Amino acid sequence: MRRSAELQKFIDPSHLEDKETLTVDGLPLIAVASPSTMEELSRILQSLFENDLSVLVTGNGNRLHVGNPPTRADLRLSTLDLKGILEFDQEDGVIEVLAGTPLPQVRNLVNSEGWELPLDPPGNAPTLGGSLASAAFGPRFGHPRDFVLGLGMVMADGTQTKCGGRVIKNVTGYDLMKLYLGSYGSIGVIGSAWLRLLPYPESKKVLKVSFQKDDEGFKDSLKASRYTSVRVACLTNSYPILEASLGSDSMNLILEIAGDEKAVERDFNELTNAYRADEIDDDVLLRIRSNQNSSPGASDSLAIHFRVLPSKLPVVWSSLNKLGFSCFSYPNRGDLFASLDPNQLTSDTETLVAVRTLASDSGGSFVLERAPLRMKREFDVFGTDPSLSEITSSLKETFDPRGILNVGRVSGRN
């Protein structure tokens, strides 16, 4: 932790200030550098690199709870001033945006021209850069990897580089984009991105399907969520915040169907005929989205995101219930969110071993999205696969040779 006065000889003071202390997993940060152009970002990183100063990169702070505890950071590098829409090609449905731009701003702009932004991560005005760096997603759209066409990056030594482009099909050179997405700022700082937009759906409806028994819910939810026009499917039972608004059925499946008007109409009719389903207000989608990010209970609760094969969801879900977790899931994608007050745990190790086994037995993976510091210190939150530890470390060392970017945060504590 340093104060800006100590850093002024390295960084232009006009981009530097001390802010209220932000503590990330026990590491306090006071000085904040806030570049507003790619050049400034590049100059700042070059200077930090040359002087062996390390940073923690932040957007609007929505996903700072995800990651292993940082092992060093002299200051915080905020992208909040690096904002703006650089180009919006309304004809081709692509847009180029600077990293610090809040997604709601982008969404409003593109919606007004008949396009949909295929990024809907939870949180308070999440920035584009933070969402991409942490591969954040919401109930509607999956991992951002399918929608990012190009990235403007600044590497650890300040070099500006690009990968991808603005066109929707591209195999020109290695696909480095995939590595940067979800790398939590540990191998380069995302400065800007070209995104592919989707046509705004002609029609949408939200439905609540109620099941009286859990096994009925498990059996039918996958089938119901695979209707052609379903784009959100959220299965929940006893998930405290969400459930309060949904009533007392054993299980609820919230569906959003969207797209061609005739297709939506038909799916709506079929779903309401086949299940106990009612149309409900679409604000439930906002509640689902915010639940994904916050866990009921204590602020340092344990929240785990699983990705498993959809057919394994019932087993994983019931096993987690037995361990004391509350769950909700996007069954069509195999996403399951589980949370628990960690004070209820009898043994951290036993729970984590069980979690790891559940994920691997169900063809999937998990991330401890929230965990008390004691657990984060003991377990890699990404449940690292030991067979990949060598290439993981090698990638980090090659792209960030002096170890100055978000040190210790990613898998393998790199």
Residue 167 sits in the site that holds another protein (CB under 8 A): yes
Residue 56 sits in the site that holds another protein (CB under 8 A): no
Specify the long-range contacts of residues 260-267, CB closer than 8 Å, at least 24 apart: 260/202, 260/203, 260/229, 261/202, 261/203, 263/228, 263/229, 264/201, 264/202, 264/203, 264/204, 264/205, 264/229, 265/203, 267/227, 267/228, 267/229, 267/230
Identify the residue among 161, 212, 238, 349 touching another protein (CB under 8 A). Answer: 161
Residue 79 sits in the site that holds another protein (CB under 8 A): no
Residue 113 sits in the site that holds another protein (CB under 8 A): no
CB of 385 to another protein, least distance (A): 7
Subset of residues 116 to 155 that bind another protein, contact rule: CB under 8 A: 135, 143, 145-146, 150, 152-153, 155
* 64 Cβ neighbours under 8 A, 6+ residues apart: 22, 24, 58
How far is Cα 171 from Cα 118, in angstroms, rounded to an integer? 22
Subset of residues 8 to 27 that bind another protein, contact rule: CB under 8 A: none
Residue 372 sits in the site that holds another protein (CB under 8 A): no
Residues near another protein (CB under 8 A), total: 91
Q: CB neighbours (10 Å) of residue 1?
A: 16
Identify the residue among 47, 51, 344, 384 touching another protein (CB under 8 A). Answer: 384
Subset of residues 267 to 326 that bind another protein, contact rule: CB under 8 A: 267, 307-311
Straight-line distance from the first to the last Cα atom of the chain, in angstroms, rounded to the nearest whole number: 19
CB-nearer residue toward another protein: 256 or 267: 267
Subset of residues 327 to 346 that bind another protein, contact rule: CB under 8 A: 333-335
**DSSP assignment letter at 197:** -
Determine the interface stretch with another protein among 101-109, 124-132, 197-205, 240-248 (rule: CB under 8 A): 197-205
Determine the interface stretch with another protein among 23-31, 178-186, 233-241, 346-354 (rule: CB under 8 A): 178-186
- Residue 104's alpha-carbon distances to 100, 143, 352, in angstroms, are 12, 18, 36
Residue 166 sits in the site that holds another protein (CB under 8 A): yes
**DSSP assignment letter at 69:** P
CB of 170 to another protein, least distance (A): 5
Nearest by Cα to 55 from 83, 31, 38, 19: 31
How far is Cα 362 from Cα 391, in angstroms, rounded to an integer? 25
Residue 83 sits in the site that holds another protein (CB under 8 A): no
CB of 359 to another protein, least distance (A): 9
